[in-house]
Structures are given as C-alpha cells and as structure tokens.
Chain A
C-alpha cells in the first residue's frame, strides 16, 4: 500500500492507503474525495478527474500521454503545467507519499 494525500481547495486534506496498480481516480472515488468524478471510468473520454500534481512529485508521475494531453484541454478548472487526469496515474511504490491538489470547479 502507498500513502496518497488529496489537498482540497478549501484547505481540507484526505489521506488514504492505496493498493499499487490502482489508478488514483478510482482511489479518490473510493475515499469520497470531492470534485474527482471520473464519469468515463478511466477511459479518457471525459476530463472529470483532473488534479494538479504537487511540485515535488511531478518528475515521478511523469507527463501526460497524447490523448490525455488533448483531454486536458477540456477540464473545468484551469489547465496548468502540473495538470493530470488522475485516472492515468497508477499507484506504484515510488509514488508512496504522493500529494495531489484537487481544483475547485
């Protein structure tokens, strides 16, 4: 299990232990993280699991692939260089301690 923290726009934090192999959109929904919706179940057909990756973790989560990059153009909250769709970030041992910022729509 790895430790993941979602920081909400209102200052609240939600932390959870996430099984490696699970994507972080599913993990967010399982832990009732608000504003991470995941309408398409992680199939890159929506952009409703948008998060900002904390600066310290950006190198480890990597850059979006081509389709994710295109879908990041339709997020409800502003797109930033640290924007990712959380369904495309998969829990792995090297992400233990990961911090994600959840934008308020």
Chain B
C-alpha cells in the first residue's frame, strides 16, 4: 500500500502555489520525467523557467555550479542585482566564495559535533511526547513535528525558550511566504514591493534582524563567543568578514531553514505510520538496524525543499533544447526522489531502503544541506521515542498541505494514538 496517491491531472502549473495544496503534483512530475524532462513553464509573475525532473539529470547539473549558478537567486522569483545583494546569504553564492563562508560553520554542523546533542535531543523528545500524547487525539504537526526543531533552534543559537515561539512564527512567515495561514504578506498576492530588499521579501526579515542585533549585543556584553552566530562573523582565510546585511540574512536562514524542513519531514513520517501500519510494527520490533536507514527514508519521502533554482551562465543544450544564458532552471529534488529510474517502488515508504541516495538535502552539489546530520539525528530520536510509547496510530481527520511550490509540508495532521 502506498501512503498517498497524487491526484493532479498530470498537467499542473508548476508556477502556481495553488497547484501544490493537495501535495506535490507527482502525476505531473511523472509525466515530465517521461515525456518532457526539460520542461518550460510560462509564468505570469515573472520570467518563465525550465524544470528538470529526472534524477540523473539533476545529479549531473547540481554539481555543475560553473554552468548553473546560485548567485542570481535560488527561488523562482526574479531578483534585480540590488535585491540579490540585499537578500543573499552564502546559499546564493558559488564556490569558491561559497566554500570560504561555509567552512566557518561546517564544523558546528558536522556529524561528530552534532552527535554530541543526542542526550539533549532525546530529552526534548521525551518532554514533547509526554505533553502531546496525553491528549489522545491531536494535530501531530503542531504538537510534535513543529516542537522539536523549534526547541533545538534555541540550543543552537542560544536564545531563551520563551523567545522561541515568536522566532519560529517569524521563520514561518519567511519560508512559507506563499501561505496566508503563515503570513499577511503573501508573496504572489502582494501589491507593493516594499519588502523587496528584506530577506525572503518579507517584513518578518526586518523584525528578525532587530532581534538578532539585540541578541548579539547581549552576548557580546556577557563575553559569550559560543555558537554558529559567532563563528559566521569570524574572518575567512583571506581576512574577509561578512557584512551586517549578510549576517542578518544568515540569521534569518538559520531561523527559517532548519525549522520547517525537519518539521515537515517528521509530519510526513507520522503520516506514513498512519497509512502503512507495518512501519510502526517494524520500529517496535527491536531490530536496531532499522534506525540506520529510516531517517533517510522519511526525508526522501517528505522532500520538504521541493526545488532550488539555478541560473544558466551560458547557453547549453539538453534533451534537444537550448537553455539560454540567464534562463532560470529549477532542479526539482522532490521529483528526483520519486523517479523509478533511481528508486524501486518510489511511492512506497520502505524504512529499510538501502542504499538510499535521495536528493532531499540537495546531495551531489556544493549547497548540500548544512544541517543534514542534525535533521537525521532529530528524526531518528523522535521516532525512537515515539515507537517506545505508542501501540497504534491512525489518522483522525484529513491532512492539509502548505500552499507553496517551494516547501512541501503537511501543515495539519490530526491523529489518534493508543499508548502502550
């Protein structure tokens, strides 16, 4: 049995956020992989764009940063150079510049360093589940999936717990800036461009920056030089430091990026447990080896960052078509993760899947997710603790997806659990 059967007619408009409210339009991706692997979409909100949907094509193009640059924007929306400079982080740069910045924080997010958080994360999982499972029937996204990455954020950037709900609300307003439930400034419905110089084109970026400035000055006064926010401000090997604007944008990125992606992976994993009951049995079977492979399968299945955009630096040919210099090219990682040329039974969740060379983290390119080890660890620990407590789990109402063609996520997931 599969978890979820896509219902789109195979011809969804990939530029439309509304086309994603029933989940990613996987019938469309399947048709494009089969018939039109480099597909053009006209878009009334800006210049049209190319979509790459096959696993092997994305693997080839994602690493080729000289041909497909991140330095002209990484989402579908067009940016002027002025806007680009005002809003960019190292995510919107190419090697070697990208690497010089990334290396400053790489250690803090490396597997051995992240592994030291295990005890803390397990304790957070305990607290979250004790609280949520008391209810019997509840929204798993809100009560579980949203909680863990939010509370981890506090540990990573060193802020008081009472500030976290506000920070996450602002983070949601940035990333989910196309869903009216998360922001008053819905990106594709805005009539002014008042926020175009702000991170994610959102007023929440300015509020977060104010917060970051206060936080850093408090840390400075206290002589606190711990954490990634301090590391990113250190000079690189050439003595260059990032500007205040880039620091602001990095802060917004940290608040936003690690939060909703892990949240929506956890939510997708819980939905899988509801739809494929044998998965919970497997997690409860005592077979320890499953914990090596299940986090990556949850993350493949969820594919929360559905695409990243690149921009062609010169003309090139692929599948008999010419991509022109300056054209936007979207690499649909969510489609690659359902490509049956790369995965057996891609619509089935198989916690023992191995190897599992999914692309949810943008693997195979310089921008591979910095937080991937933390995400895997959070997911493993959360599901370990859940499996210890829960005997059965079922859906207690229909789930709802975010209105976004960028972030794929179940924003509401009513479930009912019975405990051991």
Contacts and interface: CB of A to CB of B under 8 A. Distances in A.
B110 A47 contact: yes
A70 interface: yes
Q: How large is the interface on B (under 10, 10 to 19, 20 to 34, 35 or more residues)?
A: 20 to 34
B110 A45 contact: no
Interface string A36-74: 001111111111000000000000000000110011011
A73 B103 CA distance: 10
Interface residues of A, number: 19
Interface in A19-46: 38-46
Given A43-B65, A74-B110, 5 more contacts: A42-B63, A43-B95, A43-B365, A45-B106, A105-B111
Contacts of A75: 112
Contacts of A94: none
Nearest to B366: A43
27 contacts: A39-B363, A39-B372, A41-B59, A41-B62, A41-B363, A41-B366, A42-B63, A43-B95, A43-B99, A43-B366, A44-B95, A44-B366, A45-B99, A45-B367, A45-B368, A47-B110, A66-B237, A67-B99, A67-B100, A67-B103, A71-B103, A74-B106, A74-B110, A74-B113, A75-B112, A76-B111, A76-B112
Interface string B358-370: 0001011111100
Given A40-B365, A40-B366, A40-B368, A45 B102 contact: yes
A46 B373 CA distance: 11
B363 A71 contact: no
B34 interface: no
A71 B106 contact: yes
A46 B368 contact: yes
A41 B111 contact: no
Contacts of B111: 74, 76, 105
A28 to B, nearest CB: 13
A40 to B, nearest CB: 4
Nearest to A77: B112
B96 interface: yes
- Most chain A CB within a 10 A radius of its CB, from B63, B99, B107: B99
Interface string A8-24: 00000000000000000
A45 B112 contact: no
A74 B107 contact: yes
A47 B113 CA distance: 13
Contacts of A39: 361, 363-364, 368, 372
Interface string B86-129: 00000000011011101100110011110000000000000000
Nearest to B108: A74
A39 B368 CA distance: 7
A62 B59 CA distance: 29
- Residue of A43, A44, A71 most packed against chain B (CB within 10 A): A43
Interface string B47-73: 000000000000100110100000000
Contact of B103 (A41, A42, A70): A70
Nearest to A48: B111
